[in-house]
Structure 1
Amino acid sequence: MRYSMRQPIAFIFDIDGTMVNSMETHAKAWLELFKQIGMEYEEQDLRRLIVGRTTDDILRQAFGGNISAIELNRLSQLKETIFRQLYSPHLTPIPGLLNFLEKSRLLGIPMAVASSASRENIDFTLSGLGVTSFFNAVLGDETGCRSKPYPDIYLAAARRLGMRAQDCLVFEDSAVGIQAALQAGMKVVAIATSLTPQEIRQRFPVARVIRDFNEIDPTSAAALITSDQS
């Protein structure tokens, strides 16, 4: 079924692991930060700690809530600075992303970003990829929404676009992000960068699993929503 403008729909994108494959660099940045302040984490424990959470939430968890607002802000800024320094030379989109965004815009499909990342990192990524103008709304940790897997940021993105939750299709990679979108009542296209396709299909009732955006086009993506509404 082809997308029809008579059936309004929207696309909402996570960033890290969805638009760019940056999760390894985030992990390296956290390891460097913790090294600088004398904390140690096993890599597996670190990954469980950081996925889907805001930087401030991660720091509160790491310090057991025993951290002042001043120190929280200082360490948050330091971690994101480390990340941008590490990732800047490697900032590239997930294959097929730019073409997908361009075709979606030509079809008149509104798009938003909904991420747990800091606004500085979001702007760094979107401007670095040259895609800021594609999005009608951009939401990050400045919204004050509860971290994923709570659905808050996806529901906020839908409201910002003036869309019903069931008319939004989310592109996500992480388990907590997929959970958040599903709890928001949205369909999900899962990008298999953080989990394998098999893990995703076994754990979540997603509409589609892709390895990159070369495996899907906006018309077929839109049909994942409109086919249930016809």
Structure 2
Amino acid sequence: MYDALFLGSIGVLVETTDMQRRAFNAAFEEAGLDWHWSPEDYLPMLRKSGGRARIERYANAMGDTVDAEALHASKVRHFAQMMQKQGLELRPGVGELIEAAKSKGMKVAFVTSTGADQIDAIFKALNGALTRESFDYVGDRRFVDRSKPAPDIYLDALQTLNLNARDVLAIEDTPICADAALAARIATLGFANDGVGDQPFPDGVTEVKTLSPDLLQRDVAVA
């Protein structure tokens, strides 16, 4: 049995891929930009993490000059509004897995390096299904200088919770985020979100289609 369960990204908890795409488009329209990301445009962009960096890369490719910080803040605001209007549900098995981990005395961490405002919006939209208090650790981008695929947020969680990497199981929703867990030498499961498509998870990651308490056994994944 592991000593801790690390859930690594928003997309492990909830499926928001298309909602986030629509929030980007709402921000672009509000700013008067002639940009529109279709699903076919957006999904390949997810192979690199970071919404602000995604805007910057696209602006450079288009030859446009934009305030990426302000655009991303607008996207986060639109995303929060969409979540509050439509609500969110946990992905199948997430709640049961967390409860099983807690019942076994395991620490449970939400090891994301996204913005605190977006994390708070997620919890609010879940309407009590999960809260910050559900976790022993909730990361955000203020905690580290480098976001995923750098392992920094995982290393911070390990240090904060006084854990050894060999005693932790991580679950990530994208190959690039799984790289971060592997770089921290943590046994990792891949639980792909809708944006992953046919991207393979890196070597050493066991991909699962569903989450269940039996995944907490040490023979499921080996770092």
Superposition TM-score, scaled by structure 2 size:
0.81
The SS at the match of 1:116 is coil
Task: Pick closer, same or farther for the CA change 1:134–1:100 going to 2, 3 Å.
Answer: same
Out of 26, 43, 47, the position equivalent to 2:43 is 47
Separation of aligned partners in 2, 1:62 and 1:36? 17
| 1:28 lines up with 2:22 in the alignment | yes
Q: Which runs of 4+ in 1 moved over 6 A?
A: none
Query: Which aligned pairs between 1:2-41 and structure 2 lie closer than 5 A?
Result: 3=1, 9-37=3-31, 38-40=33-35
Separation of aligned partners in 1, 2:96 and 2:28? 38
Letter of the structure 2 residue corresponding to residue 185 of structure 1: R
> Residue 149 of structure 1: CA displacement?
1.4
Deviations for 1:34-63, whole angstroms, at most 9, x for unmatched residues?
333314255444333345633333334344
Paired residue for 1:205?
Answer: 204
> Residue 176 of structure 1: CA displacement?
0.6
Paired residue for 2:177?
Answer: 177
RMSD of aligned Cα (Å): 2.9
Identity of aligned residues (%): 21
Task: Pick closer, same or farther for the CA change 1:32–1:9 going to 2, 3 Å.
Answer: same
Paired residue for 1:138?
Answer: 138
Out of 203, 209, 216, the position equivalent to 1:221 is 216
Task: Pick closer, same or farther for the CA change 1:151–1:60 going to 2, 3 Å.
Answer: same
Deviations for 1:196-225, whole angstroms, at most 9, x for unmatched residues?
6x7546x43213x22232xx21x5424247
Letter of the structure 2 residue corresponding to residue 117 of structure 1: T
Separation of aligned partners in 2, 1:211 and 1:199? 14
Aligned pairs, number: 214
Gaps of 5+ in 1: none
Separation of aligned partners in 1, 2:203 and 2:34? 34
Separation of aligned partners in 2, 1:67 and 1:183? 35
